A and B are shown apart, each in its own frame.
Chain A
């Protein structure tokens, strides 16, 4: 009896949580590191990226990025997951998570790319004003 009740409860809870995900309860997707800094000498970043997600409810999730159309990885009835991948990054790279409905992103995370050098030399001129130290 106790076991049946527990099973029923878990089904109800899982169903409730699945419903909760569908209703948009938090799913958190993180990527580390989040920043790629480039310059003239190093125009790309060779990064070892850790992408992790966590949901308040178990569900079916797939992880995508804007590098390829195919899913990087999928999880069935999981409430968390993580992958590690090595990438050469030269422009902002976005990862997103879907919960089974194609095209519906439940969470998103981006590796930002910041370039410290400009092709325009004028932007690197040193200003000589007494009122500024920047």
Chain B
């Protein structure tokens, strides 16, 4: 990955932030982080108990089943930890928040649920080749994240780049969400897209020459955008307990979907259960 490729999206994001920053008044730029001004606990701890499933796009793999979904987050004045993402708040202005994020790319999770007990056999039934879904590593990524909101809803834009030499690619992420509340009910539809560079897509969905087999021929994946939509509904029972349901849909980019490793282009995820939060 050339440096020029990653600087493109980073530059665009920084330009947008710069323009937004110029629209601010001086006091807004120098105000203390708002997190420090309120009396919220820095911790957000929760557990979802119920049943959930997420489709695994990989061939010869199992779907991801979930019975417990933990929510562990801590928000300091600047530093924060949010369920595996580490962050540093660079700027918190009236209309937007800019964070530096360190995270693991979670596409690796799908490769942990593959089945390698499948063999190609010859005419007399002797195994001649084991079919193995290639393994992939977690990638440590660094990025910038812009959060902005208003009466119109909330927008999250981010760019993440591989920082550990795993895939050398980058991802642009955009998500729009809007919350609605009626008495004890809360609803949040959201949608967005995730553009993954060729190197990122190829690392996870490509098949290298030394991995190629009869079932998984060599394949190079190019860049593409995954689209996603989500709908979450919850009913608040009291301060701590809620009943909730989440449904997610993701459509993989054509470059990922054409991979011999991919069996399913449209991925669904659901979780229904109780949530306990502190």
Q: Which residues of A contact B (CB under 8 A)?
A: 34-35, 37, 39, 41-42, 112, 114, 116-134
Question: How distant is the Cα of A42 from the Cα of B44 in the complex, in angstroms?
Answer: 22
A133 and B181 within 8 A (CB): no
Known: A119-B38, A121-B97, A133-B54. A37 touches B236 (CB 8 A): yes
Q: Is B83 an interface residue (CB 8 A)?
A: yes
Q: Are B44 and A123 in contact (CB under 8 A)?
A: yes
Report the nearest A residue to B73, measured CB to CB: A123
A60: min CB distance to chain B, Å: 32
Complex-state Cα separation, A34 to B177, whole angstroms: 29
- Chain B contacts with A in 73-87, Cβ cutoff 8 A: 73, 75, 80, 82-85, 87
B83 partner, pick from A37, A116, A127, beta carbons under 8 A? A127
Contact status A130-B82, CB under 8 Å: no
The answer to whether A37 touches B184, judged by C-beta atoms less than 8 angstroms apart, is yes
SS class, residues of chain A in contact with chain B: loop
Min Cβ gap A32→B in Å is: 13
User: Does the CB pair B147–A133 fall under 8 Å?
Assistant: no
Contact B85 A127 (CB under 8 A): yes
Q: Knowing A42-B181, A128-B194, A134-B46, say if A35 contacts B236 (CB, 8 Å).
A: yes
A122 touches B239 (CB 8 A): no
* Candidates A42, A116, A124; contact of B149 at CB < 8 Å: A124
Please name 11 further chain A to chain B contacts, defined as beta carbons within 8 Å, in addition to the given A130-B109, A131-B64, sorted by A numbering: A42-B181, A118-B40, A119-B40, A120-B34, A120-B75, A122-B97, A123-B75, A126-B175, A129-B84, A133-B271, A134-B69
Q: Which 7 A-B pairs have the closest CB atoms?
A: A130-B109, A133-B271, A130-B106, A121-B147, A121-B97, A120-B35, A129-B106
Docked pose: A114 CA to B71 CA in angstroms: 18
A-B contact pairs, 8 of them (CB 8 A): A41-B151, A114-B239, A117-B179, A124-B177, A125-B147, A128-B194, A132-B69, A133-B52
- Give every chain B residue within 8 A of A122 (Cβ-Cβ): 35, 75, 80, 82, 87, 89, 97, 99, 147
- Cα–Cα, bound, A84→B222 (Å): 66
The answer to whether A126 and B83 touch across the interface, beta carbons within 8 angstroms, is no
Shortest distance from the beta carbon of A125 to any chain B beta carbon, whole Å = 6
Cα of A41 to Cα of B152 in the assembled complex, Å: 11
A125 to B173, CA, bound (A): 12
The distance in angstroms between the C-alpha atoms of A43 and B38, with both chains bound, is: 15
Using Cβ atoms and an 8 Å threshold, which residues of chain B touch A124?
147, 149, 154, 177
Chain B's nearest CB lies how many Å from the CB of A102?
Answer: 30
Interface pair A37/B35, CB less than 8 Å apart:
no
Q: Residues of B contacting A129 with CB < 8 Å? A: 83-84, 106, 109
Give the docked Cα–Cα distance between A48 and B275 (Å): 28
Contact B110 A130, beta carbon cutoff 8 Å: yes
CA gap between A34 and B236 in the complex, in Å = 12
Contact B38 A128 (CB under 8 A): no
Return the chain B residue nearest A129 by Cβ: B106
Asked whether A134 lies within 8 Å of B246 as measured between CB atoms, the reply is yes
- Tell whether A112 pairs with B239 under 8 Å between CB atoms, given A126-B190, A133-B66: yes
Interface assignment of B122: CB less than 8 Å from any CB of chain A: no
Q: Is the CB of A120 within 8 A of B83?
A: no
Give CA–CA (A117, B38) in the complex, Å. 13
How far, in Å, is A19 (CB) from chain B's closest CB?
36
Instruction: Please name all residues of chain B whose beta carbon is closer than 8 Å to the beta carbon of A42 when the two chains form the complex.
Output: 181
**A92 nearest CB across to chain B (Å):** 9
Closest to A127 in B: B83
The listed residue (A35, A41, A130) touching B239 by CB distance below 8 A is: A35
- Are B48's CB and A121's CB within 8 A? no
Residues in A neighbouring B96, C-beta threshold 8 A: 121
